[in-house]
Chains A and B, each alone.
Chain A
Amino acid sequence: MSLRASIALSLGLATLPAFAESGQEWLARMGAALNNSSYVGEFVCESAERTERLAITHRVRDGVVSERLVSLAGAGRELVRENDEVVAYLPDQKLAIIERRSGRSDLMGALPQFEGRMSSWYRVDSVGHETLEDFGPAAVVTVRPLDGYRFGYRLWIDLDTHMPVRSDLSDGSGRVIERLRFTRLHMDDDIPDSAFEPAVDRRKLRWVRQSPQSDDIAPAWRATQVPPGFRLSMSGMQSVAGSGGPVNHLVYSDGLASVSVFVQQPAAGKAPAQGTTRSGVASAFTTVVEGHQVTAVGEVPPRTLKFIATSIRPAGLAPDVRPAAAADLRD
């Protein structure tokens, strides 16, 4: 390490523990801003593999949430959300996927309260203020997992808007694995409907609908072990593009991190898959249980996905869910 780098690092470390306001207070403000504000902005998503610019338009009007996320790179992919319906436009694949989410889940709501039960697996700290080049002073809050089953966050919350203008996602070792950094953010309560129109030519796309066929039914499958704090938040049957038949969809969440588990008959004529696949900070682990393809997907470390996926059993045969022994999981 060079002298210059060392000094720079020391400068970066020149922040002090919490003083006037707690991290939980800042998270509450941020959660309110995320849920209630309307804004237009651009941000940079950096990971080890790539750096890409995206534009976001977010509007809350009369309780209806609309959001449009656009890749500013050549592919022109978009994600448009209108309340419980999400459409992924993938023009480079000439494909559009419509997903209608079950309306009964509470997971789209506010951030969880990091008190009581949550404090057993996350620690929240306000670590001072830092100046961001594009935004000025921001409150810095860390959300650190107390075990290796979830990711941690370092958040820069704008003092005026309470929006998270930068967030560093880190793994259990504290290594930053993704950084989202706003380069432009404008709060706007008058965003027109036209701002949520995709730029792609819809007529040239093949449309695939993924919709729930039933939800909140008694799950046919369930996990027999989950990391501490994870609970079943939703279960239902739905269609998923590329799957031959209906898919069991289970969602486990600790309030901040969530894992979707998909259980389905393996596609005819295809060898069952086993292993890990990644997409940004989200990963998937797939395996075969009782002749079914079980795939866990979520923004958690791959070991968490494997932990849950390999414990999936038919509900009739499964014993009561067994949380991982907390004493074995602390770092």
Chain B
Amino acid sequence: MTERIKEQLSAFLDGELPDPESALLLKRLERDDDLRGALSRYSLIGAVLRGEGDVPAARQVAARVSAAIAREPTRTGGFAWLPGSEALGRGVAGIAVAAGVAFGAVMLVQQVLSVKPETPVAVLARAEAPPIQPVADDTGPLDAPAEPYVTPPAAAAPVGIAPAQLANYLVAHYGYASPLVRRSVGAGLIISEIDPALAETVPAGDVPQP
């Protein structure tokens, strides 16, 4: 997240972000999980600094988001001008953003306020599982920010080494992987499919069986 986005979030929570920028920020909130989390945390910080309880803090965040949705130029007058399903989808998304951010703020504030001063802080939340993405094939230089990222079509990828040969290399590499990733490398090795036709090209060695 850039410094500019952070400043926008802060200004938004203070009610000082201009409407056009608020509209753009809402669009980002709809699709950016990290940004929603940041908004929740910022609202928590503000609430704690102000000595507020959970309900006022949550209400304030929800009110900010709701007000921004209401002010968004393309949504003025409600959703009726949009085709039915799209209007409903955008409306639900906006409400979801408001509710999600507010709910996150409530949870955070509740956790902080419920901790007794002499008790070590141990926040227990149920672990969530974000979606798993494919490994990006990008081999370009790092002279530009990583985002936005577009996965190149598979057909554009150049041909690399044969999978069977990759397995041989991975066996050789496995011993040099650090303890943290060795299990991943090993799992990838025994999970990956090897084209039988390619595997046949591996010559038999003269190694006796142990």
A residues near B, CB below 8 A?
Answer: 1-3, 5-16, 19-20, 31, 34-35, 43, 45-50, 52, 54, 56, 69-71, 73, 75, 77-79, 81, 84, 86, 88, 90, 92-93, 95, 97-99, 101, 105, 107-108, 110-112, 128-133, 137-138, 140, 147-149, 153, 156, 164, 166-169, 171-180, 202-203, 205-210, 233-234, 238, 240-243, 249, 251, 253, 255-258, 260, 262, 273-286, 295, 297-299, 301-303, 305-307, 324, 328-329, 331
Contact = CB atoms under 8 A, between A and B. Distances in A.
B68 to A, nearest CB: 16
Nearest to B135: A177
B184 A280 contact: yes
Nearest to A12: B128
Q: With a 10 A CB-CB cut-off, give which of A20, A73, A128, A156 has the most chain B CB atoms.
A: A128
B160 A284 contact: yes
B202 interface: yes
Q: Which 3 A-B pairs have the closest CB atoms?
A: A280-B188, A12-B128, A275-B158
Please tell me the size bucket of the interface on B.
35 or more
B125 A131 contact: yes
13 contacts: A45-B187, A69-B186, A70-B190, A86-B174, A108-B179, A130-B123, A240-B172, A276-B137, A281-B184, A284-B166, A299-B185, A302-B135, A303-B142
Contact of B179 (A34, A50, A210): A34
Contacts of A240: 168-169, 172
Contacts of A206: 202, 204-205
Interface of B: 30, 33-34, 36-37, 40-41, 92-93, 95-97, 99-101, 103-104, 107-108, 111-112, 120-143, 145-147, 149, 157-181, 183-192, 194, 196, 199, 201-205, 207-210
Q: With a 10 A CB-CB cut-off, give which of B100, B204, B207 has the most chain A CB atoms.
A: B100
Nearest to B104: A10
Contacts of A255: 178
